[in-house]
Every structure is written in C-alpha cells, then in structure tokens.
Amino acid sequence: MKLKTLKTKSTITLEKTVNAHVAEELKNLLLKAIKEGKAISIKSPDVTHIDTLCCQLLVSAAISCREEDVPFEITPPSNVMQNNLVALGLENILTEDRKTS
C-alpha cells in the first residue's frame, strides 16, 4: 500500500489483499491523508480480498472526511470490494460520498 500526496489530492493505492495484516498500515495512511485536509482518492481496482475490518476503516474515513468537508472517493472499486461492501450494508455510505465529491 502506498500514499501519494499531490498539491490538491492524496491517493492511497490498495494492494490485492486488504486484511487485518495491513489494517494498521491502512489506518495510519488514512489518518495521515485526512490530517493533510486534501481530497482523498482510494485506488482499488486490483483488490481481490478485503475483510470487514478494512471495509469499516474505509467507511470511517469516508465519514470523517464528510464531517471535515474533505472529498473522499474510491475509484474504481474492484468487484470484490463492491460486493463485500454490499454484503455488509456499507455501500451507501461510500456511494453518498462519491456523489458529493
């Protein structure tokens, strides 16, 4: 996983497997990106596995961004990621943020 920061946007590129083994790294990258106050873009086209914990981290980040008026988007979510968010009932939170950013 990596964080790339540009003048107006922070981009986090997710690895193929996003699970408890990388949750702390993901949390730290999200906190750093939110603290910078720039738009946040999560790139996840290659995600083949994402667990509930990491889905919750992304949703929490999206909510925090919304509260701080910081644009947050996941582009494009992989099919696996989208299916997991739907299964957990969390897709609406992220969809709302994509419509407003």
CATH number for the domain including 66? 3.30.750.24
Instruction: Quote the domain boundaries for residue 37.
Output: 2-100
Question: Using CA atoms, how far apart are residues 76 and 46, in angstroms rounded to an integer?
Answer: 9
pLDDT at position 98, please? Answer: 44
The long-range contacts involving 98-101, CB below 8 angstroms and separated by at least 24 positions, are: 98/73, 98/74, 100/66, 100/71, 101/39, 101/71, 101/72, 101/73
Say how many domains are in the chain. 1
pLDDT at position 1, please? Answer: 85
pLDDT at position 95, please? Answer: 59
Q: Which residues of the chain have pLDDT under 50?
A: 97-101
